Amino acid sequence: ATPPRPLATRTAYEHVPPVEAEANRTREMASLTASTPAMRKSAFLGRTTDAKARAVTRPAAGVKVVASTEQEHAVLPRRAALSLVAGIAAVAGRVAPSQAAYGESANVFGRISNESGFLPYAGDGYSLLIPSKWNPSKERAFPGVDLCYEDNFDAVSNLNIVVNKTSKSSIKDFGSPEQAFKEVAASLLGEQTFSGKTVSEGGFAPDRVSAASILDVGSKSVNGKEYYLWDVLTRTADGDEGGRHQLFSATVSNGKLYVLKVQSGDKRWFKGQEGQVRKVRDTFTVA
């Protein structure tokens, strides 16, 4: 046997030609690549990825490869099942109100339970609809107040139902609507507590700081029972709310005088509350 040739070595002080040095570095990198995962840089993405060497085994002669077919049959049923479940959910499932399509706002509170904005109320011998955002009040500003509700946002908007005994058998026994107002409804406007000397200005009479104007008078019949209606605008010298609208409805039943008074501040009246308070008065009925 031929003895191995001694490796040619050079001292650290020997000069290595550039071409030979580059060839040495290439051989060293090739040997490193064969034993460790190669590092290669993508030319388009500019990022480094690890490429691990993978051993490729070939099947022995006469052995059929069926793994791929079995895997394919195993994957297909799972995909079909997932597609079936998604289809059933899309057809039979119902999207919750809190979920919204792209570009739509989600209703996290669910559906509106009371779309009318009113709640029915049945009292002692009378009934009406009350705004759903109004709350009961314990205040009793007038004698005979049976019910008092006020707006939970502004107590200026409120309603009162006053029930008092009477010897009259019908509201018509008080005279015409114009004649009956003073005896039936005027006392519910309140009285001026100021006493002093003032000049006539701002539409107020001398020594007066409040005023009431009857804007409309009417009557209606419901189930054979007559009702008197009054629309009144009250103002005070302080100009609070620009005035207050008072809607009245009065009738007589079973020896009792029923009077409904609904009030709304002038500012909120013109912002849409007029329709709300008119509906309260329109739904007021006495048995």
Of 182, 181, 191, 270, nearest to 236 (Cα)?
Answer: 191
Residue-wise pLDDT tens digits, 123-158? 999 999 999 999 999 989 889 999 999 999 888 999
Alpha-carbon Rg for the chain in angstroms: 46
Q: Write the single-letter amino acid at 5.
A: R
Count of other CB atoms within 10 angstroms of residue 75: 10
Give the pLDDT band (50/70/90) at residue 190: low
For residue 218, what pLDDT is reported? 97
Residue 76 has pLDDT above 60, yes or no: no
User: Is residue 213 predicted with pLDDT exceeding 80?
Assistant: yes
In 3-state terms, what secondary structure has residue 151?
Answer: strand
pLDDT given at position 286: 98
Amino acid, res. 53: A
Find all residues with CB under 8 Å of 285, minimum gap 6, and list them: 126, 127, 128, 222, 223
Secondary structure class of 82 (helix, strand, coil): helix
Please list, in sequence order, all residues whose beta carbon lies within 8 angstroms of the beta carbon of residue 261, skipping any fewer than 6 positions away.
159, 160, 161, 162, 185, 188, 246, 247, 248
Which of residues 87 and 112 earns the better pLDDT score? 87
Structure tokens at 230: 């009054």
3-state secondary structure of 129: strand
Nearest of 269, 265, 263 to residue 249 by alpha carbon: 263
| Tokens 């909120």 -> residue | 268
- pLDDT at residue 212, rounded to an integer: 82
CA distance 207 to 97: 60
Average pLDDT over residues 243-264: 96
The letter for the amino acid at 204 is F
Q: C-alpha angle with apex 32: 27 to 35, nearest 5 degrees?
A: 130
Please give the structure tokens belonging to residue 6: 């001694």
Position 72 pLDDT exceeds 70: no
Does the pLDDT of residue 109 top 80, yes or no? no
Q: Which residues are within 8 A (CB) of 161 and not within 5 positions of it... i.e. 6 or more apart?
A: 123, 126, 128, 145, 146, 147, 148, 258, 259, 260, 261, 284
Answer yes or no: are the C-beta atoms of 251 and 171 closer than 8 Å.
yes
Read off the pLDDT of residues 116-125 as tens digits, 9 standing for 90 and up: 899 999 999 9
The residues near 263 (Cβ < 8 Å, ≥ 6 apart) are 156, 157, 158, 159, 244, 245, 246, 247, 277
